[in-house]
A and B are shown apart, each in its own frame.
Chain A
Amino acid sequence: MDSEYVVIDRILEGEAALYTELVDRYKGYVFTIAYKILQHKPEAEEAAQDAFIKAYHGLKGFNKESKFSTWLYRIAFNTAVSYKRKQKHQFYSIENSIITHQQEADGILEKTDKKKYLQHAISRLSETDQLAISLFYLEELSLEEISSITGTEANTLKVKIHRARIKIADELKKILDKEALTL
């Protein structure tokens, strides 16, 4: 983490090219956060880029009291949420409805693909629960970090994640039972 602060200090002193290092290190996480919120890859890419640019311009304001990653993810989260508010009516609902109908048309899901069963079970959760569970399973993120990224109180978040995990297990069981009946 110290080396990360050194990189940040050097960027602030004018070595902008070093920002590549930070982008490479965190692009996967930032893009995943944006994608989990927007559910649309091109839009998530744009939001993730925007988040990195915002973070670069706001680097002076990063006080090093929190981890750089948490600070960056909060920017990514807020950027993606504002993109979603702006773009919601343009394509998001259309794309989701296509996926949902396609999945239903395919006899819910392919029989052997557990990942697809899981995605189907997750899609039954509310949007906020989906996001909470996604962030929880993102590597290295503690409840406190998720809390500071999303602005949701840690205890509320804990309950949400707990319920979401149980609900996914229940949904998955339902789907598998249904599939077993159709076999």
Chain B
Amino acid sequence: MKMEDFEIKVLAYLDNTMSKSDRDAFEQLIESEKHLKLRFEEIRHVDFLLRSEPLQQPPKDFTSNVISNLHQRPVEASAISIVRSLLLLSGIIMVVVICVILVTNGRFDTMTALVDLGDLNLASKYVHKNLPAISIGGRSLINVIILLNLLLGLLILDKGILRPLFQKRMHAG
């Protein structure tokens, strides 16, 4: 018998998951083979030590602490940590500042994108009139991007930084 198979039997024996006949056969086996008996004793000894491990007990005032804090809402783990939120926010602020500098320097004034709605197949299928071409200025586009970035920044400031901070302070108090 392989040692691995024997060890599986030892654990089944110790966990009391063997049938009566299997237990008897197993007991006979370990009595007949000295090295198997030795291995059995090693594993049984560890099992005994592990089973006699005491349960850890919290301090005596544990229950009263729980009861006195019971009406505090548990702190919800935020999806992103405050540090990560700060990093993200500083990245957004940097992007916004760079965009504002470029816009005020007039870098996007000459850029325009022409979106011709008439080119879309949609026009021939559902609309019978000629659709106009829309000209989008680079400056307006960047302004929209800046605005979206600012909104995202405010959201991160609220959800990722201020709220967790206030919650922490509330629980500390």
- Chain A residues at the B interface, C-beta cutoff of 8 Å: 16-17, 19-20, 23-24, 27-29, 31-32, 35, 44-45, 48-50, 52-54, 56-57, 82, 86, 114-115, 118, 121, 133, 137-139, 162, 165-166, 168-169, 172-173
- Chain B residues at the A interface, C-beta cutoff of 8 Å: 7-8, 11, 42-43, 45-47, 49-51, 53, 55-59, 62-63, 65-67, 69-70, 72-75, 77, 81
Q: List 19 A-B contacts (CB under 8 A).
A: A19-B67, A20-B67, A27-B66, A44-B58, A45-B58, A49-B62, A49-B66, A50-B74, A53-B69, A56-B70, A82-B77, A118-B49, A138-B55, A162-B8, A162-B11, A165-B43, A165-B47, A166-B7, A168-B50
Check A35–B56 contact: CB distance below 8 A: yes
Residues in B whose Cβ lies below 8 Å from that of A35: 56
Check A48–B62 contact: CB distance below 8 A: yes
Residues in A whose Cβ lies below 8 Å from that of B57: 27-28, 31
Check B43–A166 contact: CB distance below 8 A: yes
Pair count A-B, CB < 8 A: 89
Residues in A whose Cβ lies below 8 Å from that of B50: 118, 133, 137, 165, 168
What is the minimal beta-carbon distance from A136 to any residue of chain B, in angstroms?
Answer: 8
Closest A residue to B3 by beta carbon equals A166
Closest B residue to A170 by beta carbon equals B42
Check B58–A31 contact: CB distance below 8 A: yes
- Taking a contact as CB atoms closer than 8 A, the residue among A24, A32, A86, A169 that contacts B56 in the complex is A32
Check A45–B59 contact: CB distance below 8 A: yes
What is the minimal beta-carbon distance from A34 to any residue of chain B, in angstroms?
Answer: 9
Closest B residue to A85 by beta carbon equals B77
What is the minimal beta-carbon distance from A132 to any residue of chain B, in angstroms?
Answer: 12
What is the minimal beta-carbon distance from A75 to any residue of chain B, in angstroms?
Answer: 10
Check A53–B42 contact: CB distance below 8 A: no
Taking A28-B56, A133-B50, A162-B11 as contacts, is the C-beta distance between A57 and B43 under 8 angstroms?
no
Check B66–A54 contact: CB distance below 8 A: no
Known: A49-B65, A169-B43; 16 extra A-B contacts, CB below 8 A, are: A24-B63, A28-B57, A35-B56, A44-B58, A45-B59, A50-B75, A52-B66, A53-B66, A53-B70, A118-B50, A137-B50, A162-B7, A162-B8, A165-B50, A166-B43, A169-B46
Check B55–A139 contact: CB distance below 8 A: yes
Check A20–B63 contact: CB distance below 8 A: yes
Residues in A whose Cβ lies below 8 Å from that of B75: 50
- Taking a contact as CB atoms closer than 8 A, the residue among B46, B49, B63, B70 that contacts A27 in the complex is B63
Closest A residue to B51 by beta carbon equals A137
Check B7–A27 contact: CB distance below 8 A: no
- Complex formed: what's the CA distance from A128 to B98 in Å? 47
Check B74–A168 contact: CB distance below 8 A: no
Check B55–A28 contact: CB distance below 8 A: yes
Which 6 pairs across A and B sit closest by C-beta, in order of nearness? A31-B58, A32-B56, A28-B55, A54-B74, A169-B46, A52-B66
